[in-house]
Chain A
């Protein structure tokens, strides 16, 4: 009886270590739930709709719910991200187009120094609001691990299109058009 206990203990310990390793790997996998839902045309509800974050200009807090009933282009960005610089003028043009119909681009900074973010906004003359997600309360809900990423929400807070990467005029125009019609 005592002889058989040793291999069992070693096996249990080995299995526990392997399980720990598997958990560590699985827990870090990219969340693509939204991607597959949007691809299937399911219009998933935007997660973290009520998550309230501090505005970049320090004027208070805002959430996606602040724009309920409006088309929102949710954009995760950072000042250190070159593709974010490239797409900033495209988003600013989209903001001008959306503002006319009551919609907005809603910027969310991701792992960025606030003063650098504010410099970025000034430098690119961005007129749309941005909030700071320093503690990552919102970005992980969208599976955001790299920048930039953009999610286009219709008036009912459903995601009609998403882009994991730099957006262009054509993508935004099509997505906003679909969001306004849905």
Chain B
């Protein structure tokens, strides 16, 4: 009898801690890294019955005290890697990473090739210009002299 009472007391003392696992992940933090797998958009912008179901699953896992990474791992284990909003680092999904890098490198290479040419093309054109400007013809020089003579400064 005494043992049974002790057992009940022990269970009551442990129950609150056991029942209410401390959340270790925020719902919003997980939601934007998971895809709605029927609508093909991230869960945080999805509006469908399946999206609501996925949100309920995430809330349940958070309530169980799982971390963000554990929740993501659990979802991947059940539905596969496509459930994650971040691109995979294998297969065709790799294009998401290497295409922007390739484009930036190609643009840099293009600039590296074209910039010296452009500068070379501008330099001779500038060199042709005389510092004092174009030389005046005799008639223009005479007219200039006459015009200046009218301004008595």
Q: Spell out A's residues near B (CB within 8 Å).
A: 5-6, 9-10, 13, 17, 20, 23-24, 27, 78-82, 111-113, 116, 134-136
Q: Spell out B's residues near A (CB within 8 Å).
A: 37-38, 48-50, 52-54, 56-57, 78-80, 92, 95, 99, 102-103, 106, 109-110, 113-114
Contact across chains for A80 and B106 when beta carbons are under 8 A apart: no
Chain B: CB-nearest residue to A27: B92
Contact across chains for B37 and A135 when beta carbons are under 8 A apart: no
Docked complex Cα distance between A82 and B56 (Å): 18
Contact across chains for B80 and A135 when beta carbons are under 8 A apart: yes
Docked complex Cα distance between A17 and B80 (Å): 28
Docked complex Cα distance between A9 and B105 (Å): 12
Output the least CB separation between B82 and chain A (Å). Answer: 8
User: Which residues of B sit under 8 angstroms from A82, Cβ to Cβ?
Assistant: 49
Contact across chains for A80 and B50 when beta carbons are under 8 A apart: yes
Main secondary structure of the interface of B (DSSP, over half): helix
User: Which residues of A sit under 8 angstroms from B54, Cβ to Cβ?
Assistant: 113
Contact across chains for B53 and A116 when beta carbons are under 8 A apart: yes
Contact across chains for A81 and B57 when beta carbons are under 8 A apart: no
Docked complex Cα distance between A20 and B80 (Å): 24
Contact across chains for B50 and A9 when beta carbons are under 8 A apart: no
Chain B: CB-nearest residue to A135: B80
User: Which residues of B sit under 8 angstroms from A13, Cβ to Cβ?
Assistant: 102-103, 106
Output the least CB separation between B106 and chain A (Å). Answer: 5
User: Which residues of A sit under 8 angstroms from B92, Cβ to Cβ?
Assistant: 23-24, 27
Chain B: CB-nearest residue to A12: B106
Contact across chains for A111 and B37 when beta carbons are under 8 A apart: yes
Partner among A6, A113, A136 whose Cβ is within 8 Å of the Cβ of B57: A113
Contact across chains for B110 and A113 when beta carbons are under 8 A apart: no
Given contacts A111-B50, A135-B80, 17 further A-B contacts (CB under 8 A): A6-B110, A6-B113, A9-B106, A9-B109, A9-B110, A10-B106, A10-B110, A17-B103, A80-B53, A82-B49, A111-B37, A111-B38, A111-B79, A113-B56, A134-B78, A134-B79, A135-B79
User: Which residues of A sit under 8 angstroms from B114, Cβ to Cβ?
Assistant: 6
User: Which residues of B sit under 8 angstroms from A9, Cβ to Cβ?
Assistant: 106, 109-110
Q: Which 3 A-B pairs have the closest CB atoms?
A: A80-B49, A80-B50, A135-B80
User: Which residues of B sit under 8 angstroms from A112, Cβ to Cβ?
Assistant: 50, 53
Docked complex Cα distance between A82 and B50 (Å): 11
Output the least CB separation between B31 and chain A (Å). Answer: 16
Docked complex Cα distance between A116 and B103 (Å): 45
Docked complex Cα distance between A81 and B53 (Å): 11
Partner among B48, B50, B79, B99 whose Cβ is within 8 Å of the Cβ of A17: B99
User: Which residues of A sit under 8 angstroms from B113, Cβ to Cβ?
Assistant: 5-6
Chain A: CB-nearest residue to B95: A20
Docked complex Cα distance between A23 and B99 (Å): 14
Docked complex Cα distance between A147 and B49 (Å): 12
Output the least CB separation between B16 and chain A (Å). Answer: 25
Output the least CB separation between B103 and chain A (Å). Answer: 7
